[in-house]
Amino acid sequence: MELSSKINPHRTILHCDCNGYYASVECLLRPELRNLPMAVTGNPENRHGIILAKNQLAKEAGVITAETISEAKRKCPDLICVSPHHDLYQEYSIKINNIYREYTERVEPFGIDESFLDMTDLWQNYAASPAQFADLLRKRIRESIGLTISVGVSFNKILAKLGSDFKKPDATTVILPEDLTTKVWPLDITNLLYVGKVTAERLRILNINTIGDIAKTDPDFLASYLGKIGENLSLYARGLENSEVQKYSELDEAKSIGNGMTFSEDLTGWEKIREGLSGLVDEVVTRLIKSKKVCNVIQVQLKSSDFQIFSRQTTLNRHIQKRDQVWPIVWQLINELWDETTPIRLLAVTVSGLENQGEVYTQMSFADIVSSNLSVADDSNKSKNSAKQDQIKNLIFELNQQMGGDFLKLGRNQ
């Protein structure tokens, strides 16, 4: 139809979707579960708890997401139910997105285990075709993380998303403009993003059953019949959705706050590295304070002059916010990461595990203690003073514990 001439075929959008995410992460950390039918469930003690995710064996036994444990166990009596570990899923999600970000700055997470990537004019740097790039990315995630992803490749987000559902697990599906009428239009309407149960029922009443049926229905009628969603579905079905993939660095900072810098000259020597990192930490901490968040995961990433990426992160048992809390950990991580000789092209610092300030227990900052210690320095009450000193010692001990070594020591005046 003539409207298809408005399709923008020049974009290369990927939708990457982790396969059986929760269950896969659990099996990654407990490999003994891999060869047993297992599911991640709301509350394993309660047979009314529901299935949040299942592995391939459970799937083959007929277990489906969102049914109750008792329903699932009727079909699969040996089903092993485990509680979810959301912090881990978050951690792996960040790791996976950080890999995507090595290829493009336009990485837009869509839920914890899915992301859109805009690889327009970028895939050529890595592969002979967009499909080959998707294959490379799948291999990369499989080998470095141990999880599999399905990738849809198309000219907009909606069709890339639809493509990633085509073939699972660990598969690539390409939808070109010319595939729209042959591959997409015959599909049932529920394959289209945002066609939920209610919308589907309303469309079926009108005998609109396939995506092609939506495409061929008058857009104005759909808009008046379903409202804004009708208008959108018409655009989606005709391949005309054209929204941008957001830059990861500009996303809602609820999940992580990060700052990276590519240096015009490769950095060499500890002094330059310290300077580079110091500026990044300043900005991350400023944004952390500004957004009234505290963090407990800190990650440092570096890219060498030959484009190899290395990263290391640590999860603390407390939430922190201040610079003198974040800096020693960043410094420790770079000490573990950098071999002192490789020239560095890019440095990045990211904090995550964010919580609202005041809602979790945070440890006192080193500066807080030192300044309050100074304020009582003239106090003749020695015991008060030594209590402060104990606090400082405790803090140093704790920081050293967190960093796994004796990196901080008391000065001789203390």
Positions marked active-site: 114
Helix (H) or strand (E) holding 318: strand 309-320
Please give the backbone phi and psi of residue 405, each rounded to the nearest 5 degrees, phi first: 175, 180
Task: Give the burial string for 50-66 (b: 16+ CB within 10 Å, else e).
Answer: bbbbbbbbbbeeebebe
* Structure tokens belonging to residue 187: 């599909």
DSSP 8-state assignment for residue 167: S
Rounded to whole angstroms, the Cα distance separating 406 from 128 reads 50
Per rule CB under 5 A, is residue 17 in the interface with Mg ion? yes
Supply the minimum distance, in Å, between the C-beta of residue 114 and Mg ion.
Answer: 6
For residue 16, the minimal CB distance to Mg ion (Å) is 9
Q: Is 274 exposed, middle or buried (0-12, 13-18, 19+ CB in 10 A)?
A: middle
Shortest reach from residue 29's CB to Mg ion, in Å:
18
Structure-block tokens of residue 261 = 């810098």
CB of 20 to Mg ion, least distance (A): 7
Number of Cβ atoms within 10 Å of the Cβ of 411: 6
Q: Does 141 bind Mg ion (CB under 5 A)?
A: no
Burial of 195 (0-12, 13-18, 19+ CB in 10 A): buried
Q: How far is the CB of 21 from Mg ion (least distance, A)?
A: 5
String of DSSP letters for 343-402: -EEEEEEEEES-EETTTS-BPPPHHHHHHHHHHTTT-S-HHHHHHHHHHHHHHHHHHHHH
Beta carbon of residue 170, minimum distance to Mg ion (angstroms, whole number): 12
Nearest-approach distance from CB 344 to Mg ion, in angstroms: 34
Nearer to Mg ion, 108 or 113 (CB): 113
Measured N-to-C along each axis, helices 323-337 and 382-403 cross at an angle, to the nearest 10 degrees, of 30
Which span sits near Mg ion by CB under 5 A: 109-117, 235-243, 322-330, 352-360?
A: 109-117
Cβ nearer to Mg ion, comparing 122 with 193: 193
Q: How far apart are CA 113 and CA 17, in angstroms?
A: 6
Return the number of the residue (20 or 49) whose C-beta is nearest Mg ion.
Answer: 20
Q: Closest separation between CB of residue 86 and Mg ion, Å? A: 15
Contacts 24+ apart (CB under 8 A), 280-287: 280/347, 280/348, 280/349, 281/323, 281/326, 281/327, 281/330, 281/349, 282/323, 283/259, 284/257, 284/258, 284/259, 284/326, 284/349, 284/350, 284/351, 285/321, 285/322, 285/323, 285/326, 287/253, 287/257, 287/259
Residue (173 or 363) nearer to Mg ion, CB? 173
Nearer of residues 57 and 112 to Mg ion, judged by Cβ: 112
Number of chain positions touching Mg ion (CB under 5 A): 4
Q: Is the Cβ of residue 38 or residue 180 nearer to Mg ion in the bound state? A: 38
Binding-site member from 26, 91, 108, 113 for Mg ion (CB under 5 A) = 113
Q: Which stretch binds Mg ion (CB under 5 A): 18-26, 251-259, 264-272, 331-339?
A: 18-26
Which residues have C-beta within 8 Å of that of residue 68, sequence separation ≥ 6? 47, 48, 49, 50, 51
| Half-sphere exposure for 16 (CA within 13 Å, toward CB) | 32
Q: Is 108 in the site for Mg ion (CB under 5 A)?
A: no
Indicate the residue among 113 and 241 with the shorter CB distance to Mg ion: 113
Taking residues 353 to 392 in sequence order and writing x for each that binds Mg ion by CB under 5 A, - otherwise, the string is ----------------------------------------
Q: Judged by CB under 5 A, which stretch of 11-19, 131-139, 203-211, 351-359 contacts Mg ion?
A: 11-19
Q: Which of residues 19-38 bind Mg ion (CB under 5 A)?
A: 21
Nearer to Mg ion, 88 or 127 (CB): 88
Residues that bind Mg ion (CB under 5 A): 17-18, 21, 113
